[in-house]
């Protein structure tokens, strides 16, 4: 009987899901860590955000590094860093220990995530690229939702240290899996600069300069910032909003996990629609437009007496909004100024995304504190969506941009 062998491109996608488990493992663990290690509320906030700070400050440089190190080797190194940091967390005695290890996890996550679109481009035929990049766009909501669902039961059975160790084991096994199943990078990758541009050199500063001097990477990066800022602001505060509404912690967590999980449907749909020739611009229109309308329905005062409608609007916000990241990942592969700068372009996109995730939730929280509730949240998310619509309208985003 033949054993089932998973295609290398799917190994890369699953590697991203494993990395995202480490991002999602922290929120459900905060109450346990506050009791076990005396983590303060401020320290808990840093434990949640320090991964985004790493991405916000260094993602483009990590992307440059993976272009130099090799994409497969970068992914393996990232999983090993995640494994070591997660194993180390099992012996953490102070909040400062976890903070330091969490910063290393942020680096490991970037090393896994940034080279993945370029690796997928190497591993699949061009005609299948949009489909696979659509699947790649699901790695974060899938990993986050799995962590939200599984963490309470795992920590109840194994303790938080056992949960950390289990995820460390997953990453170590994934590093070996990538090593065995994903072929090495080609020794010589031919660069294909856009017309009128010089060939990208091997020096990292040349690749960085070429990437940041091109309009395409900036466009997809700013669009990702606008998407990620509002998505995390809404999904991140759902447990608090539902707790204020009187729901139990388990119910609030389950509703939030489902809202995160449905984001996958938009990512997969975008991949299929791009594969069929639907304009990326139209997908961005649909994503940003729906997010703006859905947050008005979810938070506006007109629906204050309709909690079911509000939650359905949140699901629509996340599900249809999911077409945006998949579309942008597909565009990033095409707008990179050369073959050698794909990871650098994705790194810049990730850096802007992390900036959005860092700035969006505090802005929404500040507005809620000023007006005494969440009913003006839609103004912040709507403004981001409007800018996203204008950006999509003014750029020639096509399937093979």
Question: In b/e form, how buried is each residue of 231-267, taking b as 16+ CB within 10 angstroms?
Answer: bbbbbbbbbebbeeeebeeeebbbbbbbbbbbbbbbb
Read off the pLDDT band of 401 (50, 70, 90): very low
Q: What is the pLDDT of residue 290?
A: 96
Read off the pLDDT band of 232 (50, 70, 90): confident
| Contact call for residues 324 and 229 (beta carbons, < 8 A) | no
Between 11 and 46, the higher pLDDT residue:
11
Tell me: pLDDT of 46 over 90: no
Q: What is the pLDDT of residue 379?
A: 92
* Spatial distance between the Cα atoms of 382 and 289, rounded to a whole number of angstroms: 9
End-to-end CA distance of the chain: 45
Reported as a single tens digit per residue, the pLDDT across 377-397 is 899 999 999 999 988 875 554
- Cα torsion through 72, 78, 80, 83, rounded to 10: -140
Which residue spans within 72-192 are E strands per DSSP?
none
Please enumerate, as own/partner, the contacts of 203-208 that have beta carbons within 8 Å and a separation of 24 or more: 204/64, 204/65, 204/67, 204/68, 207/64, 207/67, 207/338, 207/340, 207/341, 207/344, 208/60, 208/61, 208/64, 208/344
| Contact call for residues 357 and 225 (beta carbons, < 8 A) | no
| CA-based R_g, the chain, Å | 20
**Among residues 29, 309, 255, which one has the least CA distance to residue 159?**
29
The count of other CB atoms within 10 Å of the CB of residue 210 is 25
Collapsed DSSP state (helix, strand, coil) of residue 393: helix
* Spatial distance between the Cα atoms of 343 and 111, rounded to a whole number of angstroms: 10
Q: What is the pLDDT of residue 189?
A: 46
| Contact call for residues 136 and 325 (beta carbons, < 8 A) | no
Q: What is the pLDDT of residue 396?
A: 56
* Spatial distance between the Cα atoms of 274 and 92, rounded to a whole number of angstroms: 46
**How many residues are there in the chain?**
401
Q: What is the pLDDT of residue 41?
A: 63
Average pLDDT of span 338-355: 82
Read off the pLDDT band of 374 (50, 70, 90): confident
Tell me: pLDDT of 165 over 70: yes
Between 210 and 124, the higher pLDDT residue:
124
Tell me: pLDDT of 227 over 60: yes
pTM above 0.85, yes or no: no
Hey, CA dihedral for 394, 397, 398, 401, is it positive or negative? positive
Give me the residue label for tokens 């997953």. Answer: 170
Tell me: pLDDT of 69 over 60: yes
Which residue spans within 241-399 are E strands per DSSP?
none
Kindly state the greatest CA–CA separation across the chain: 65
Q: What is the pLDDT of residue 243?
A: 67
The pair of structure tokens assigned to 32 is 């346990």
Q: What is the pLDDT of residue 191?
A: 40
Candidate from 16-20, 106-110, 193-197 with smallest mean pLDDT: 193-197
Listed by start position, the domains of the chain span 8-181+199-392
Average pLDDT of span 216-237: 87
**Among residues 395, 198, 235, which one has the least CA distance to residue 322?**
235
Q: What percent of the chain has pLDDT over 90?
A: 31
Crossing angle of helices 71-89/116-123, nearest 10°? 140
**CA 352-54-215 angle, 5° bins:** 25
Domain 8-181+199-392 of CATH type 1.10.10.10: no
Tell me: pLDDT of 314 over 90: yes
Q: What is the pLDDT of residue 133?
A: 83
Reported as a single tens digit per residue, the pLDDT across 257-271 is 888 889 989 988 998
Between 398 and 42, the higher pLDDT residue:
42
Between 256 and 139, the higher pLDDT residue:
139
């Amino acid at each position: 009987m033949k054993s089932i062998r998973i295609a290398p491109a799917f190994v890369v996608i699953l590697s991203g899901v494993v990395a995202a488990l480490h991002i999602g493992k922290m929120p459900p663990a905060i109450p346990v860590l506050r009791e076990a290690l005396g983590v303060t509320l401020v320290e808990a906030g840093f434990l949640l955000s320090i991964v985004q700070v790493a991405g916000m400050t260094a993602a483009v440089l990590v992307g440059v590094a993976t272009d130099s190190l090799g994409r497969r080797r970068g992914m393996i190194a990232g999983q090993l860093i995640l494994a070591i940091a997660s194993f180390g967390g099992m012996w953490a005695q102070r909040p400062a220990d976890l903070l330091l290890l969490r910063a290393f996890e942020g680096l490991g996550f970037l090393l896994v995530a940034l080279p993945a679109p370029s690796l997928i481009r190497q591993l699949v035929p061009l005609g299948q690229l949009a489909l696979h990049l659509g699947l790649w766009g699901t790695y974060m909501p899938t990993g986050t939702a799995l962590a939200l669902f599984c963490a309470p039961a795992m920590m109840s059975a194994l303790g938080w240290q056992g949960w950390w160790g289990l995820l460390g084991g997953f990453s170590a096994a994934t590093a070996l899996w990538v090593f065995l199943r994903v072929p090495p990078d080609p020794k010589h990758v031919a660069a294909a600069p856009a017309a009128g541009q010089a060939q990208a050199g091997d020096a990292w500063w040349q690749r960085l300069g070429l990437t940041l001097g091109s309009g395409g990477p900036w466009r997809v990066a700013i669009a990702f910032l606008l998407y990620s800022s509002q998505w995390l602001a809404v999904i991140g505060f759902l447990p608090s909003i539902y707790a204020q509404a009187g729901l139990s912690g388990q119910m609030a967590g389950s509703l939030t996990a489902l809202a995160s999980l449905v984001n996958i449907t938009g990512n997969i749909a975008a991949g299929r629609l791009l594969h069929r020739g639907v304009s990326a611009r139209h997908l961005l229109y649909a994503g940003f437009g729906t997010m703006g309308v859905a947050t008005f329905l979810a938070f506006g005062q007109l629906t204050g007496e309709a909690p079911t409608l509000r939650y359905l609007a949140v699901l629509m916000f996340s599900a249809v909004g999911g077409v945006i990241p998949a579309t942008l990942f597909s565009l990033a592969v095409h707008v990179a100024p050369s073959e050698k700068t794909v990871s650098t372009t994705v790194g810049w996109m990730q850096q802007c995304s992390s900036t959005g995730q860092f700035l969006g939730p505090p802005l929404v929280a500040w507005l809620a504190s000023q007006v005494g509730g969440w009913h003006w949240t839609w103004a912040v998310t709507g403004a981001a969506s409007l800018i996203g619509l204008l950006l999509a309208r003014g750029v020639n985003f096509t399937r093979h941009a």
